[in-house]
Each structure stands twice: as structure tokens, then as C-alpha cells.
Structure 1
Amino acid sequence: MTDLVLSETRDGIAILTLNRPEKLNALNYALIDRLLAVLDDIEVDDSVRAVILTGAGERAFSAGGDIHEFSASVALGVGVAMRDFVMRGQRLTARLEAYRKPIIAAVNGIAFGGGCEITEAVPLAIASDRALFAKPEINLAMPPTFGGTQRLPRLAGRKRALELLLTGDWFAPPRALELGLVNEVVPHAELMPAAFDLARRILRHSDLAIAGILTAVARGLNQ
């Protein structure tokens, strides 16, 4: 079976790749569970000091939640859908937000729905100039369910966030930069080098201090 999350480590930096390129790296239940397990392992591995998270293939970072799985859960009842889809996605974004090692999203393509919510949740993000963002859940007659209705307003401000949440309009990397969703936009070929450069600039400093800052900021945002 294909590993849904590819993992390799270089110079103390783990590169995690969402690996469903044929489905635009959509977040099915197995992928979310695998990513959570890998993050658990990395957090207690002292040889890994930072994480870069990206998507497999040339088209997508992640197109969001796997709608086919979600529809199957809904067919079994609202309680099943809440447990299987909503709570699982919220566990993932909460884990990314509260992680004690720096996580940098290298957004290499489409980041819609849950993919956009991952970008909101991680502490740092760099976008390829080929990336594309959207909050399209309203087109499916539902709100974002992984925390996007809280995190995007914190990043972009209430009115700008509501425009995106209520229209479902896509937006390009320069707009994502303006909204505070990403730290930088770079040419596609420079995406991973830029992510590594940012990680190395952070890792010049004490792991204890880095973890303390990440934890303090995450707690402050949620008070």
C-alpha cells in the first residue's frame, strides 16, 4: 500500500509530503490519521528539530477534505460525520497549531478547504507562485469545519475573512501574502530551498526557546 505521508529527514529537518497526488492530496481519514501519527513520532525524536510539510505532485498542496468519504459519513448520520470528519480534521489543525517544533508549510499548488486550513494552522508558510487558495465550503452548503472560521479572521481580519468565507472565491499567492496566510511567495522552483532556508535560520537558536515561543503564541491566540 502506498504510504499516504512520505517522510525523509535532512540535517535535522523532516520533510513530510501528503501523498495522494491522483486525488490532489485530498485529506481522507487514513491520511489524516497517518499524518497525526508521524507528527507524534517526530515530536519525541530529538534528532528532528523542524518540519516542512508539502504536497506530492505538481498540482496540489491539498485540495481539502475527501468529499466522497465525508458524504459516506453523512449518509450514516450527523453524529458519524461529526466524529469521522469534523473532529478528525479539527484534531489535525489543532495539533499543527500547538506543535512544539516549527512547521513550515511549503504550499506547492492548490490549497483549498482543508488544505487552506492547514496553511492557516501551521506557524509558518511559504507559497509557490503556482499556488492557489480558496475557502470553497460554502459552495457545498456548509461552513469550514477544521477551524477556518476562527483562524482566518485572526490572520486576515474579520471583514476580509468573511468575504472569502461567504463567497468561496479563490485567491492567488500575492493575496495570501497580503492577508497574512503565508510569510513569502517564491518562484515554484525555489519553494523547497526557501523553506529550508527559513528552517535553518530558525534552527540557529535554542530548541527550548523555539518551543517556548511556539507554545506561548499558540496559547495566547486561543485565550
Structure 2
Amino acid sequence: MPTDPEPTTLTWRVADGVGWVRLNRPDRYNAFDQVMCDELQALWRRLRTDDDVRCIVLGAEGGKAFCTGIDRDFVPAEGGAEYAFSPYTYDDPGQQLGPKSNELWKPVIAAVDGIACGGAFYLLGEVDFIIATEASRFFDPHVTYGMPAVYEPLLMLHRGMPFGEVLRMTLLGNHERMTARRAHEIGVVSEVVADAAALDAAAGWAAAAIASAPPSAIQATLRTLWAGRELTRQQALALGGPLLNLGMSEEALAEGQKVFQGERIVPRDR
């Protein structure tokens, strides 16, 4: 586990190879401020070399919201001297939030319960899959408040959200919220569960299953598939050889043989 001072905007624990991270500003609907940006970035970077953690579950405290984006108190007041914007010097806070932006190539499962909107997609756009409760709702209010919706919908588009659905969500702003069921229908959410207890159980089961595999095989697979989203087919296949060799080891193969020769895994249906 990390040895740095305990974060103030996150809760954090490790159990059986799974790291449980929760956004912890429920009084602000888990909106992120500079402290949360700094603490998430530091945590993702520490986890890159933490061998006790093979998979991460990212959730939130409070039950009402997973994340509602940037804290309004984080944004300078209009008209202030610090309000000036320059496209040449702008530091996007989202670069601190996402696991992939911080070069963490261990699987991250998002466990969403409640509202996920706006800047929440900085996180959801970089996790590997999403499990959500029936009560969860997804929307992007940027244009309603006179702001262009840029980075967040681009991240969701890139991770596979259908083009028309991204446009509908961003253009309608606060006028419509996508249910967890609709998000599941279009492939944004991989599983919908009844409530918070079922959410922890489902995310914990999936994370434990992933953590049971050799980490070198998991990380090479993860890097291959994310790279494959950005490359042409031939480029991705050409990259496959080096990543295959990097992820293959005698230790991992021996571990796999023990599984093959041991008690049969009974899969569940989804």
C-alpha cells in the first residue's frame, strides 16, 4: 500500500490483490478540486509499481453521486485577474484524473452509483469497464451552462460510446439524463445491478477474477487492446508481437499451468 500521508479526498484500501479507491467528497457530490486532482494523480502513479495491487475498483462515497465533474469553487470567478484563458498555456485538470493519463496499466473497474456527469467522464473514459446501479444517471451539462463540451465527450467517443449517443448526451445538456439501462444497451455500461451492496459484490467479484491471473499477462493484454483503439489494424497487429513477448514469462506460464491442472473454474453467465 502507499506509504504517503492518507489522502483527504479519497478513501483507499487493499484486499486480496484488489485496490478499492473511492472518491470522498460526498458533501460536494464528489466533484473534484485541485486537492482531489493531486491525490488521484499521486495514487495512480504509486499504483504502477505496487505489486500488492493487480486490479482496482473505483467508486465513490455518499450514494448520491459518483462524480459531478469540476467543483464550481475550483473555477476562478468571472472577471477576476486569474480568469484569462490562453490555449497555449491551458493545463487541463483531466490530465491528472484518469489512470491511463497517468500511465497506470492495471485494470480499473468503475463502480457507479448515482449521478455521473460532466468531468466524471475524465474518469469513466479511462477505466476498462463500468458497472452501475439501477439508480445511476449519466449526462453532460456543459452546453447548458455556456461551456463547450470537448474533452469529456471525446474520451467517451474514443472508448466506444456510439457517435450519435455522444452527440445526444452533450447537445441536450441538462435536459436529459441517460439511465443505467440505456447505458447498458449501448455498451457504455457492462452490467447493471440493483443497489450499492450488489455493486460492491459485482465489482469485487470481477476484480478478484482479474487479480487471480498473472499480472504480466493482464498488463500486456490491456496495453495491446488500448493501443489497438488508436492504431490501424496492421499497426496494432505489428505491435502485438513485442507486447506478447513482454507479457510472456516462465513464471506466468507456470502459474497458468497450475490453474489448468487444478480445480476447474466454474464460470458465471452474464
What is the TM-score when the length of structure 2 is the normalising length?
A: 0.75
Work out which structure has the larger RCO, using CA pairs closer than 8 Å and 6 or more positions apart in sequence: 1
The answer (yes or no) to whether the contact 1:99–1:214 under 8 Å persists in 2 is: no
Give the percent of matched residue pairs that are identical in Structure 1 and Structure 2. Answer: 30
The equivalent position to 1:128 in structure 2, one of 120, 130, 133, is 133
Deviation at 1:205, TM superposition (A): 1.8
For residues 28-52 of structure 1, the C-alpha deviation after alignment (integer angstroms, 9 at most, x for no partner) is 1110110110111111110111111
Amino acid at match of 1:152: L
SS at 1:125's partner residue? strand
SS at 2:209's partner residue? helix
| Separation of aligned partners in 2, 1:134 and 1:44 | 34
Q: Judging changes above 3 Å, is the alpha-carbon distance between structure 1 residues 98 and 151 closer, same or farther for their aligned structure 2 residues? A: farther
For residues 104-133 of structure 1, the C-alpha deviation after alignment (integer angstroms, 9 at most, x for no partner) is 110011101111342232111100112111
| Separation of aligned partners in 2, 1:172 and 1:97 | 30
What is the TM-score when the length of structure 1 is the normalising length?
A: 0.89
Deviation at 1:186, TM superposition (A): 0.4
Deviation at 1:216, TM superposition (A): 1.3
State whether structure 2 residue 16 is matched by structure 1 residue 7.
Answer: no
Structure 1 range deviating more: 179-188 or 140-149: 140-149
For residues 148-207 of structure 1, the C-alpha deviation after alignment (integer angstroms, 9 at most, x for no partner) is 224336522212211111111211100111222211000112000100111122223221
Aligned to 1:52: 57
Aligned to 1:197: 205
Structure 1 range deviating more: 116-125 or 66-75: 66-75
| Separation of aligned partners in 2, 1:30 and 1:145 | 23
Amino acid at match of 1:78: F
* Large movers: runs of 4+ above 6 Å: none
Amino acid at match of 2:205: D
| Separation of aligned partners in 1, 2:133 and 2:104 | 24
| Separation of aligned partners in 2, 1:97 and 1:144 | 22
Aligned to 2:28: 23
State whether structure 2 residue 206 is matched by structure 1 residue 170.
Answer: no
Amino acid at match of 1:198: A
Q: Judging changes above 3 Å, is the alpha-carbon distance between structure 1 residues 112 and 54 closer, same or farther for their aligned structure 2 residues? A: same
Provide structure 1 residue ranges, at least 5 long, that are not aligned to the other structure. Answer: none
SS at 1:7's partner residue? strand
Structure showing the higher helix proportion among its residues:
1
The equivalent position to 1:112 in structure 2, one of 101, 107, 117, is 117
Amino acid at match of 2:207: A
Q: Judging changes above 3 Å, is the alpha-carbon distance between structure 1 residues 94 and 46 closer, same or farther for their aligned structure 2 residues? A: closer
Deviation at 1:98, TM superposition (A): 5.2
| Separation of aligned partners in 2, 1:136 and 1:62 | 13
Provide structure 2 residue ranges, at least 5 long, that are not aligned to the other structure. Answer: 1-5, 232-270
Aligned to 1:222: 230
The equivalent position to 1:36 in structure 2, one of 33, 41, 55, is 41
